[in-house]
Structures are given as C-alpha cells and as structure tokens.
Structure 1
Amino acid sequence: MPTAIIADDERLMRDQLRLRLNQVWPELEIIGEAKNGDEAVQLVAELKPDLTFLDIRMPGKTGMEAARDIGDQSAIVFVTAYDQYAVEAFERGAIDYVLKPPEPERLQLTVDRLKARLKALIEQPGSLPVNDSVTLMLSQLAEKIAAPKPKYLQWIQASIGQDLRMIPVEEILFFRSDEKYTCVQTDKFEALIRKPVRDLAEELDPALFWQIHRATLVNVNAIDGVTRDLRGRHLVMIKGKSDKLEVSRSFLHLFKQM
C-alpha cells in the first residue's frame, strides 16, 4: 500500500485531511503526523513515506522550506488555503496540491493525479524532476507567504440611519451580507456597510472572526453553540440573540471540536 505523512500545525486540519483521504483513497496508509516543517523532515527521513502532505505555512520551518530539505525522498503534496493566484501557479507547475478545507469531490481529482504520479515513479524512477520554472514559482510563492502580515482592522465605520459610527471590531457579533450591503450586528444595534464579507475576511483577525458561510463572518467569542434544524443544516447560535447563522459545508470543520 502507498504510505504518507501529514504535516500541518492545526490538529483539526490534520484530522480533517486524514478523514477525507480515507474516504477517497482507503488504500493510502497515513503512517505519521507532524506539527511543523522540522518534524516533517525528520519523519520523512525515519519513515520514508511515498507521499508527504505539507501545509504551506507552518511555524518554524515552512512547508516550502521543508520541501527543499525533503528533496526527492518523498513526493510532495502542498496543502493550501490560498487564493486562486496560488492555485493557478500550482497548476502551471504541475505540482500536486490539496485545497483547504479538503472536500471529497475536489480531493478525488488530486488523488487520481497522485496515483498516476506514483505509478510513473515506479515505472521510471526520477522521471518527474522539478524544473527551474517550478522552483522559481515556489520561491516567489514562499516570499509572498513570508511577507509581513498586514495589520488587522480595529474599527469599522458603519452607517446607522444618517449617522456614521466607529465600531470596535471586538464589539461586533457577526457580519452578514446580501446583494448590496453587509449588516454589522452588535449587542446593542445593527449598522450597514458596503464592504462585502469576502473583503472583510481578509482584513479581520481570523483568530477572532470565523467565516462560516460565503456571506457570514462570526465573532468567535459570540458563539453560544451549534445546533441542527429539521433540514439537517448546521446553525450557529449567538449569545443573547435569537439569530441563528447557517454554516455551509465548507466551514463545518471549524466546529468539529465542539
């Protein structure tokens, strides 16, 4: 059976990827897990897996740096939550990758390509070298990821009737968008802004605000729990409010520990 290790600094993401891989590739044996790039390099040397799933951004040694150290000891599969630019770069370089969160349908495409890659390596060892253009692309992407993080928003300027208010982000319970506006809900009032959730998600601290739907961001400290309705939908309950916010399938992994 083919073997693999998973390297990601988030335990929930390791568990999620292991679960999804077991669903779409039950023959694959996960023989180890690492929390950072240094552990990944050590595990590859000790266990010699056929495949190594590397999160791009990890504390200490990044996935990119670990990949360079691993070299040709194991086939590399990058795990990424980054934008379409990065995905297109992977496609152009014919590099194997997995998108976060790993959905079965999309993961199946990656698995099919990995099987073909492993078969080619068995039939003709060394037949899939990493060319110069791929190496350059990886270096550019590593620089982009290593760049200093922008400062997160501390205040939201929002309209309440004819007035403008400066709202501290920690007082906001959730953001919810429709076609034209985004509702900013606090414990005491509701305001409107024109900025869509997709832009807010990039400007707010992801440790404080979780995106649970393409149109919804919720303050982690405002979550009272998660329930399910008669249709099987998962709904986030907000402390002190009757609002229930739908969680789309792509973001259910955020609540696996609850």
Structure 2
Amino acid sequence: MNVLLVDDSRLARNELRHLLQAFPDVQIVGEAKHAAEARTQVRELRPDLLLLDIHMPGETGFELLASLDVAPHVVFTTAYDEFALRAFEVNALDYLLKPIEAHRLAAALTRARAKLQPAAPSASPPSSPPEEVASTPLTEHDQVFVKDGDECWFVRLSDIRLFEINGSYTQIYFNQHRPLIPRTLQHLEQRLDPRVFFRVNRQQIINLKWVENIQPWFSNSLKIQLRGGPEVEVSRQQSVRFRELLSL
C-alpha cells in the first residue's frame, strides 16, 4: 500500500514515518507540506492512501480533496476533533487525533487494506445484506462516528455502557445521550471486543467495565446495575455464560 503524507509539520510527518515502520506492507512514496505540493504528488505518484492534515498554510485538507479529479482513500490526521462530521461526509476512512496512537493507526490501515483489496468473485449472492456484513473488529479504545438526525458525535467505545434494541434501530447509551443507529445487535456483536462487551439477552449488549452491581434474579438468572443506569436483566442462558466468563 503506497501512502502519501500531507502535513505542514515536519515533526508530525516524522512521527508518522516512525509509526508506519511497524507495517511492512506500507510504503511511503512521498511527503507534502501543503495542498499545492500534495496535488502535484497525488497526480505523479498516484498513492493508494493519503494521511492528510486539515489545517495547513493556504488550502485546507478539505479544499485539497475538493480540487482533485480522482482522490485516493483518505485518513485525516489532525489535532482538532470538531471536523469529524465533515470528514465522514467526504468518505474519509478514519479520523485520527494527534498525538496519533499506534493502535488507532493500525485500525485505519486495516480499513484501507479492506478498501484496496479486490472483492473475490462469487456465483451466489451474499448471505446477508451489505449493511450487516461485519467490518474491522473494534477495541474499546476506538472512536466511532454516531449520527442521529441532525445531531452527531465522535465517541470512544469505552464510554458506551449499553446497546439496546429500539424498534428496528439500536439505541446507544453514553453520557446523557441516547442516539439511535440503523444497526442490529448481531452486527454490533460481531464488531465489538467480547472481552469488554457482553450480550446479556436478545435485546441488550453491555460494557462490562460499566457494571456497578450484580444481583441474583429469578430462575438462576442475574440482574445488573450499570453505572449511570439502567438496570438490565441477564437471560438464564447468558447468566451461565456471564458466570463462566468472570470466574477464576
């Protein structure tokens, strides 16, 4: 995978070079200090991926993308979190906040590889609709983009205490917010780290690190109080799994 670094900070580019040494399949084909230089290099070098800063002298990273006839895949690298919504509106693969953490960069590169890998031919249709195909596994340290109507958030998974079915949507509990997303629990369960997120019943997945209190309940089941609420009832079958998971 050929990568072009675009950042007006030499220190930031050097840090990315250092982090990318851990990925032998990644080749840095060039560096650019501003949009005009990057535009020339994109045309001449045809990189697969841009690691792109937003604030640069002259044009911003968004203005650079708007000026390209054919743009590579993009991962934004920035010190500002307020541009997350706009970044995903231009189909960025990821949005990394400086200082960039190695595991976040690794996850972004995994997404880029998945985009660059040609799909294998298949004689039969997929067994599930595209929106239900599991993508790159997520850790509790990952941040995800959540949009509900006109509101949007860039939230770390460790801050989400509960996923709960609400009609044909899933409701997410973090801070005082309760947005709805068009995803099933089955899809989320495939993507979330099972060491942190546990399916307590058919309708709810909890973050184990938000468990405040556990009580015996009917028919050898359990009831769990989450910090900040609510209470959730663990099905009898999942209560057995819960005890096994958390026992020595």
Task: Please indicate, yes or no, whether the TM-score normalized by the shorter chain is above 0.5.
Answer: no
Higher relative contact order (CA 8 A, sep 6+): 1
> TM (normalized to structure 1)?
0.42
- Where is the helix percentage greater, Structure 1 or Structure 2? 1
